Amino acid sequence: MSININRQAPQTNLVIEQNKAQKQKDASATDNTKAPSSNKDSVQLTPQAQNLNKMKTPSESQVNMERVESLKAAILNGDYKINSEQLAEKLGKFENDFNKAFAN
């Protein structure tokens, strides 16, 4: 941007403005003619992510709804008892498996 310190009307070069307009039209025309297949995205999983993916259960859709409902009822009634030894054992196994997944 130029500042006119003489307070005269700025004079623009019509040819330069026309060339700029033509270049913009050409650029937008080439953008529109590009094939959409030229922009291919790809994703690569890290080894850690691949290991975590292997740890996932084979079929998460197999939920025993009868067991879920009985557990909900036991919790609501206050009858559900937590076996702390079993919980600690399973947490330790999970931690061990998790560490193995990230060790590779």
Is there a domain that residue 39 lies in?
A: no
Is there a domain that residue 45 lies in?
A: no
* Domain count across the chain: 1
Q: Are 74 and 20 in contact (CB under 8 A)?
A: no
Is there a domain that residue 12 lies in?
A: no
Is there a domain that residue 13 lies in?
A: no
Could you read off the pLDDT of 30-57 as tens digits, one per residue? 655 555 556 788 888 898 888 887 777 5
Is there a domain that residue 75 lies in?
A: yes
| Residue 51: exposure state from Cβ atoms within 10 A (0-12, 13-18, ≥19) | middle
pTM attached to this predicted model: 0.33
Region label for 27, one of left (φ > 0), alpha (ψ between -120 and 50) or beta (otherwise): alpha
Is there a domain that residue 18 lies in?
A: no
Is there a domain that residue 49 lies in?
A: no
Q: Are 12 and 18 in contact (CB under 8 A)?
A: no
Helix locations, 1-104, DSSP H: 14-33, 47-55, 65-77, 84-103
Could you read off the pLDDT of 82-102 as tens digits, one per residue? 999 999 999 999 999 999 888
Is there a domain that residue 59 lies in?
A: no
Range of the domain at 73: 65-104
